[in-house]
Amino acid sequence: MIVKTVKKHLDLERGGTLTAIEPMELFPIFPGLKRFYFIASEPSIKKARAGHYHKIKKEAMFAVQGQILISLKKGEQEENFLLKNEPDDLEISVVYVPPGWWHEVSVFSEDAILGVLASTTYKEDMETQDNFEEIP
């Protein structure tokens, strides 16, 4: 049995908490997965999160609970996805974010929790870019 304790990172400026589990090598049943994290909304703060792209990281985002709007953009392509996971829902959507796609997370419901599966650890992904104009 493996038990790991993780710390929450409260970031009121960015609108909530971020809790990460890494390195995922501690859990060998998920090969290739390097990081799992989730973001819980802070109801009193209505701010968008992310607003960047990754040069190498791949992510899969889903609503653990509540409703979350994900906006993706690359060149002229722009798509918005409303992820939701309400008690009566029988299925949930998962959005795959490949490298090079600008992404922003906004419109959290008060009870929202966003789950993210990532292909790199935080330190491996130091190539995060926050300037949309620089996307190759």
Q: Residue 77: which CATH number? A: 2.60.120.10
- Among residues 111, 112, 132, 119, the alpha carbon closest in space to that of 50 is found at 132
pTM of this structure? 0.74
Q: Does 108 reside within a domain?
A: yes
The answer to the question of residue 126 being in a domain is no
Q: How far apart are CA 31 and CA 27, in angstroms?
A: 8
Q: Is residue 46 part of a domain?
A: no
User: What is the DSSP annotation of 56-124?
Assistant: S--EEEEEEEEEEEEEEEETTEEEEEEEEE-TT-S---EEEE-TT-EEEEE---TT-EEEEEESS-TTT
The per-residue pLDDT for 1 is 30
Range of the domain at 93: 8-41+56-117
47-74 pLDDT per residue, tens: 666 688 888 888 888 888 899 999 999 9
Q: What is the amino acid identity at position 117?
A: L
Task: Domain count for the chain, please give it.
Answer: 1
One-letter identity of residue 113: I
